Amino acid sequence: MRQHVDYALARRAVLRDLRAGRLDREDVCDAHPELLRAGRHIGEPVARDCPVCAHRSLRLVSYVYGDALARANGRCITSPSELERLDTTHEEFTRYVVEVCVDCHWNHLQRHELHGRRHAG
């Protein structure tokens, strides 16, 4: 199993605080325009409603970071085959998966995973 950190507990805490009035909607619906663009055009649709606005417009966007990635460092992954290619050609890098609602701009880091030949499993 690939090493990863899941942020589900942090997500639940943010949503709990939003519903309890300890956070404003503007505090959690603040996605950067580039994240929204990536969500609209290359994001992977999620088969559940947004936890904030209840629309069916959630997307997952993946970014990769690593010292050896060169030009690929910091870019969005547009397909599973692109991630597989990076896995086989680089020793180590990190993939960040962000949940974003393209309607209300909710966004939250869902998880990060270690990738590359060193972490192949």
pLDDT average, residue stretch 69-83: 91
pLDDT at residue 1 greater than cutoff 70: no
The model's pLDDT over 12-65, given as tens digits with 9 standing for 90+, comes to 999 999 999 999 999 999 999 999 999 999 999 999 999 999 999 999 999 999
Confidence of residue 121 (pLDDT cuts 50, 70, 90): low
Task: Name which of 79, 70, 90, 75 is nearest 44 in CA terms.
Answer: 79
Q: Write the DSSP string, the chain.
A: ---EEE-HHHHHHHHHHHHTTSS-HHHH----HHHHHHHHHTPEE-SS--TTT--S-EEEEEEEE-GGGGGGTTPBP-SHHHHHHHHHH-S-EEEEEEEEETTT--EEEEEEEEESGGG--
The confidence score (pLDDT) of residue 26 equals 95
Average pLDDT over all residues of the chain = 94
> Is residue 62 within 8 Å of residue 42, measured between CB atoms?
no
The confidence score (pLDDT) of residue 102 equals 97
